[in-house]
Structure 1
Amino acid sequence: MIELSNITKRFGENEVLSGISLSLPEGSVTALIGPSGGGKSTLLRTINLLEVPTSGTLAIGDATVTLTEGGRLSRGQIQSIRQQTGMVFQNFQLFPHRTAIENVMESLVTVQNWPAAKARERAMSLLEKVGMAHKADAWPATLSGGQQQRIAIARALAPSPKVLLCDEPTSALDPELAAEVVDVLAQLAREGTTMVMATHDLRLASQIAERVVVLESGGVVETGPARQVFDAPERERTKRFIATLKSTGETAAPDTAPRPV
């Protein structure tokens, strides 16, 4: 279970998150959508404290941190949260001087002190899961964007996090390569992986997410089951935003129901 309580984030005088409270059950998939600058990526990054909130309370599993205006978190508090999350970035961020399998092994060997043989076995099983075992010894520069992102997903899963966070995981990819990543994330969803994703991709959100949170100007505009929000949104602002995404043609409109709960 992930609990966000009254999360506020300011950069100087600019308040980018305004008292957001959400409960995200274990095993659920939640999509954060909304116009650019609405706060979805910032909110996602507060969940693993890549962005430390100005104030509010964050809980993942049995780890809880509370921030007050002007307060600071200890390294131990930050690690207690980050150890339970895996992060998939928009631009992959693979180590260019490591092969695919070495990228997946890295955190297991350097952070968790696993023996190399055990880490390699775990890494290979994850590469098989994302359909990249045949590229285990390839360098990132020789791989397509979709292949790199699938390796990045395997790397994020390596330490068995409680939640997988995905920040625009398909936005840097053309439609065909994006489809590869959607398929991998859909399989993880069917297996019960807890995920939170910030995305503009309606195909990704509609096929995978059970729940959608619409953000604008740092606040929650609407939240509800994915099919309801996409097909019959309650708020006029949500209707306009989804209509804009469909009309631009930048993403596929939702045409399949989200996975059953």
Structure 2
Amino acid sequence: MIELIDIQKRFGDLHVLKGISLQFAEGSVTALVGPSGGGKSTLLRCINLLEVPTSGTVRIGQASVSFEPNRKVGWKSIQALRRQTGMVFQNFQLFPHRTAIENVMEGLVTVLGWDKPRATKRATELLERVGLAQKADAWPATLSGGQQQRVAIARALAPSPRVLLCDEPTSALDPELAEEVVDVLAGLAREGTTMVMATHDLRLASRIAQEVVFLDGGVVAEKGPARDVFKDPKAERTRRFLASLQAVSKANEADGSGV
């Protein structure tokens, strides 16, 4: 179980998250959707404490960290929670001087202290899982964007995190390459991987998410089963936002550029 309790986040005078409380069940896939600036990515980064909440509580499994203004949380507490998460970034963030397999191995060796044979075996299994076993020795610069993102997914999965966090995982890719990533994430969802993703990609969200949380202005404007939110949203703001995304999607399809 992943639980957020009254999460507040301020950047100076800017109040980005305004008391978010959510639960994400083990094995579930949740899509965070909403307009740019609504708080999706900030909330996602608060789960693994890449952004430290101003106040509130983050709980993942048995690990729990509470925050208060002007009170510093110990590094060990942050690490105990962060190590239960894997993060997939919008722009891949692979090490350019490491091969694909070395990128997947890096955290296992340098952070967790695994020996090289064990890390190599784990990395090889994960590259096969994302369909890139044949690219193990390739440099990131020689891979397509979709392939780089799939390596990044393998890297995030390497330490067997309790939850996989994906921040706009397809937004930097053209439609054909994005489909590769959607297929991999859909496969992980079928296997029961717990995922929380911030996305504008309705194809991704509607295909694999079981739950949808619509964020606007730093608050939860609507949440519920994906089929209900996408087909019959209750909030007018949700309806207008989804209609705008669908209009853009149709326009892109008409001019041949895809979603």
Q: TM-score, normalised by structure 1?
A: 0.95
Greater Cα shift, 65-74 or 165-174: 65-74
Q: CA deviation at 1:71?
A: 1.1
Alignment-derived partner of residue 104 in structure 1: 104
Taking the TM superposition and a 5 Å limit, the aligned residue runs for 1:245-260 are 245-249=245-249
What residue is the counterpart of 2:135 in the other structure?
A: 135
Residues 202, 252 of structure 1: 8 Å contact kept: no
- Structure 1 CA distance, aligned partners of 2:242 and 2:252? 11
TM-superposed deviation, 1:69: 1.4
Cα separation, 2, equivalents of 1:133 and 1:77? 36
Residue 163 of structure 1, CA deviation: 0.2
Deviation at 1:249, TM superposition (A): 1.6
Residues 195-237 of structure 1 show CA distances to partners (whole Å, capped at 9, x for unaligned) of 0000000000000000000000100000000010000000000
Q: Is the 8 A contact 1:28 1:210 kept in 2?
A: yes
Task: Give the corresponding residue for 2:123.
Answer: 123
Kindly report structure 1 stretches of 4+ aligned residues shifted beyond 2 Å.
250-253
Counterpart in the other structure of 2:194: 194
- Inter-partner Cα distance in structure 2 for 1:155 and 1:141: 17
2:151 aligns to what?
151
Structure 1 position 76, deviation (Å): 0.3
Aligned length: 253
Residue equivalent to 1:38: 38
What letter is aligned with 1:38?
G
Report the CA distance between 1:70 and its aligned residue: 1.2
Gaps of 5+ in 1: 254-261
Residue by residue, what CA displacement relative to the aligned partner does 1:26-71 show, whole Å, maximum 9, x if unpaired?
1100000000000000000000000000000110000000001111
2:35 aligned with 1:57: no
> Identity percentage over the alignment?
71
Q: 3-state SS of the aligned residue for 1:193?
A: coil
Q: 1:46 to 1:251 in 2, by over 3 A?
A: farther
Match of 2:244 in 1: 244
Distance 1:239 1:245, change over 3 A: same
SS of residue in 2 equivalent to 1:148:
helix
Question: For the residues of structure 1 that align with 2:139 and 2:99, how far apart are their CA atoms?
Answer: 5
TM-score, length-scaled by structure 2: 0.96
**C-alpha distance in 1 between matches for 2:224 and 2:124:** 37
How far did 1:113 drift? 0.8
Write the distance in 2 (CA, Å) between the matches of 1:56 and 1:215.
18
Whether the 8 Å contact between 1:203 and 1:251 is mirrored in structure 2 is no
Contact 1:200–1:251 (CA under 8 A) maintained in structure 2: no
Deviations along 1:171-196, one digit per CA (max 9) or x if unpaired, are: 00000000000000000000000000
Q: State how far apart, in whole Å, the 2-side matches of 1:138 and 1:162 are.
A: 29
Q: Which residue number in structure 1 is paired with residue 257 of structure 2?
A: none
